A and B are shown apart, each in its own frame.
Chain A
């Protein structure tokens, strides 16, 4: 008995997806009598078949769908034949509902792509094909539908088949099986068709019944993302999760990533007892000895096959947000059980959905596909998506609306050391800094207006120069008047402002300088983005700390007074928030310390 086959039905609107699944359910006697009666009643009201039972109405479960005669959201339906169990995801064809189609595709083993024989390959056909390929669906079934309306013409079928194979090959889908069908009548779906003597394959359903989805893969190393730490009493501490690869036995040596801590599996705990082994797909609870620190988001892996952790990645991204993707804007990322802050640091290109060409882009709009560089605010254990759907697929969540705005697949990590591009240059940043007899750094001063950033920055630079160091000071004023003259104070502009400052600082550090950045930079995500541009010990986040009350009292430029009168909008600390650094490298309390004492603290850290 084959495993349950999960497949997604996709293709453009009106190509007959809901009709196809309705026909399969009906012919497999998977429609209950009372459900069929409803369909017959609904068919008189909304049906598109002139009062005859419209089988699409079996799946279009939302009132708006029946009224408009379209599919808006994906519907899941289980059914079975004598040979196999299936779960089908009936996906909407309209471009505006692509994110719902993606939902259905993400858990599918196979995709049935519908094409209307009269229309051929449409942009949505190509878009859906790219999405299923991106999401790791490897088996494609092409259903050239409505063949009865082209008199079962062999040439029509063969030219669509050939055109589709070109698209599929281009996105790396090798396994395509094509069928000339009529979803309405079931010809070549559930029964042989009398009109296609030229087509000798078994029908589409028989093909799905026989599809081998998981060829016995080579033994994979053990991986289990930790979902939940179970601590009912001081004597028991178990790590709950679902195994995504490999097997585990008591006594196995494991590592907890990203920390890298080693331990041994003590027991595999299940309901009212323990097990001798567990394998991919099992939900279990592990106890370890010694009892090392493990939290949700960690991945327990086979000790001899450690898992990579990274904070910068190359990835494919399907954008699902109503607002476009903006480079540098902070999002939340969810990758297996791990949540982190993330920003897209670069859009390498957008993919033309029809021909696959790479287009230059500064943003991604709703339903766009692109290739991006992604930075997270801490290292996350991962695997490339091609190796593991569970450890390589992620979503992006908008921080303001909580909407799921992006679905991505990691291609590889962008570790500096492994990045060939940076090794092309003979003269490196390190060489340039050595020449100046120093180590290049970015000292990022963040804090409220009037917290003392500029005072500390000036004194710090003077001190460094007096010791023969090569420095540069970037502050709001010298950047705003030149490089960022074109930027205002909207959210997008503020993000761009920080991005440019961070990039300039990066170039200057690469030139071997000690760069002091003095910017309010109120959002942690912006500061994390800046940090992401530098090597680990190159960047120092310095929190210049004074309370809003103190700053408003100091108010050397009279800005707080103006902001409180409403003359300045979006003023940090008054009507715009300041996120205190979660883990600054250094905190300078300017309410207690003099500027000289602050500089001393910084210098101590630099040595």
Chain B
């Protein structure tokens, strides 16, 4: 990537203000017509930004929707601690859902392969939670720059009664006019951060002092190498080869998910400024550390068709 674009100060605050105003407009537009709104919360940086924007959008009222977290039971321990602290400190109601049938069936990322695990513990779990809540307007923290099938998705993206996305039948989306008409069981996934880049998210976190999970900052952490990727040993459920000893490396995470499926990057960036500088200088995409995106060609599009976040 071009090194000349490194300095964050080159871009004026008006850019950040415009992104914020656009996101707030989208959030309000969805909530204004919602019967049963919800905000998906992954505990990641984008979710934290989205929650912050929702609090801004409805101030002095609390955000008029609950947060939904799909807990696979394989999230980093730091993420769960952060989630529970945030729920205790803010006025937002948190709903946590786990696919109990999956847990009872002993589905894990190590034993069943990332594809099957993701299907059961994330996609099916999400569908269960959405069905239970009968939500119509579902706010999500997706960005178009994350992945190229997301770049194709509307800001208000229609899902059928089984939560499936049909990329060939997307509604035209003109200007800032969003068609929010739904039939029974249908829902809209609403992405207020569609036009944000990864760097925009970091700059916003820095400017607004939004709390984030410490795993985004570089620290010495125990890791093992799996297929060329650094996997953090977050607890003793990770199977180690005979004689294998985790090494301590200075690493951080660009994106957070289930710890066995989320690769760390070696980094010294332990401040937001350093993270922003690193983000602007990297030549690898953010989702490279997401092992589930690589399972098969067009895997994200397929997961979305099935109802994945």
Contacts and interface: CB of A to CB of B under 8 A. Distances in A.
Contacts of B174: 102-103, 106, 393, 395, 404, 407
- Most chain B C-beta atoms within 10 Å of own C-beta, residue among A62, A87, A320: A62
Nearest to B25: A242
Contacts of B197: 78
Interface in A442-470: none
A493 to B, nearest CB: 26
Contacts of A43: none
Interface string B149-175: 111101000000000000110111111
B151 A3 contact: no
B148 A58 contact: yes
Contact of A283 (B31, B57, B147): B57
A357 interface: no
Interface string B165-197: 001101111111101011100000000001101
A87 B173 CA distance: 16
Interface in A250-287: 269-272, 281-283, 285
B5 A80 contact: yes
Interface string B249-276: 0000000000000000000000000000
B71 to A, nearest CB: 29
B59 A404 contact: no
A95 B173 CA distance: 17
Contacts of B61: 230-232, 236
B284 interface: yes
Interface string A407-430: 100000000000000000000000
Interface stretch (B10-18, B76-84, B96-104): B10-18
Nearest to B31: A228
B110 interface: no
Nearest to B154: A103
A288 interface: no
- Most chain B C-beta atoms within 10 Å of own C-beta, residue among A61, A64, A66, A397: A61
B203 interface: no
Contacts of B22: 283
A1 B11 CA distance: 7
A271 B18 CA distance: 16
Contacts of B177: 334-336, 393-395
Interface stretch (A30-38, A179-187, A594-602): A30-38
Given A34-B285, A61-B301, A227-B25, A402 B1 contact: no
B45 interface: no
Contacts of B59: 269-272, 285
Given A106-B174, A283-B28, A28 B2 contact: yes
Given A62-B167, A82-B4, A271-B59, A76 B195 contact: yes
Contact of A77 (B12, B14, B24, B145): B145
B172 A236 contact: no
Interface residues of A, number: 72
B115 interface: no
- Most chain B C-beta atoms within 10 Å of own C-beta, residue among A59, A63, A107, A336: A63
A298 interface: no
B283 interface: yes
A403 interface: yes
Interface string A209-236: 0000000000000000001101110001
Interface string A386-398: 0001100111010
Interface in A363-395: 389-390, 393-395
A73 interface: yes
Nearest to B147: A61
Interface of A, helix, strand, loop or mixed by DSSP:
mixed
Contacts of B171: 403-404
A63 B301 contact: yes
A100 B288 contact: no
B181 A78 contact: no
Contacts of A78: 144-145, 195, 197
Contacts of B181: 332, 397, 402
Contacts of B175: 106-107, 389-390, 393
B245 interface: no
A33 B176 CA distance: 34
B195 A29 contact: no
Contacts of A393: 174-175, 177
Contact of B32 (A42, A282, A296): A296
Given A106-B174, A283-B24, A61 B15 contact: no
A20 interface: no
B43 to A, nearest CB: 22
A76 B288 contact: no
Contacts of A588: none
Contacts of B284: 32-34
Contacts of B154: 103
A432 to B, nearest CB: 43
B88 interface: no
Interface of B: 1-2, 4-5, 10-12, 14-15, 17-18, 20-22, 24-25, 28-29, 31-32, 55-62, 144-145, 147-152, 154, 167-168, 170-177, 179, 181-183, 194-195, 197, 282-285, 288, 297-298, 301-302
Interface of A: 1, 3-4, 28-30, 32-35, 42, 58-64, 66, 72-78, 80-82, 85, 87, 99-100, 102-103, 106-107, 227-228, 230-232, 236, 238, 240-242, 269-272, 281-283, 285, 296, 320, 332, 334-337, 389-390, 393-395, 397, 402-404, 407
11 contacts: A33-B283, A62-B167, A72-B167, A73-B168, A77-B144, A106-B173, A281-B18, A393-B177, A397-B181, A403-B171, A407-B174
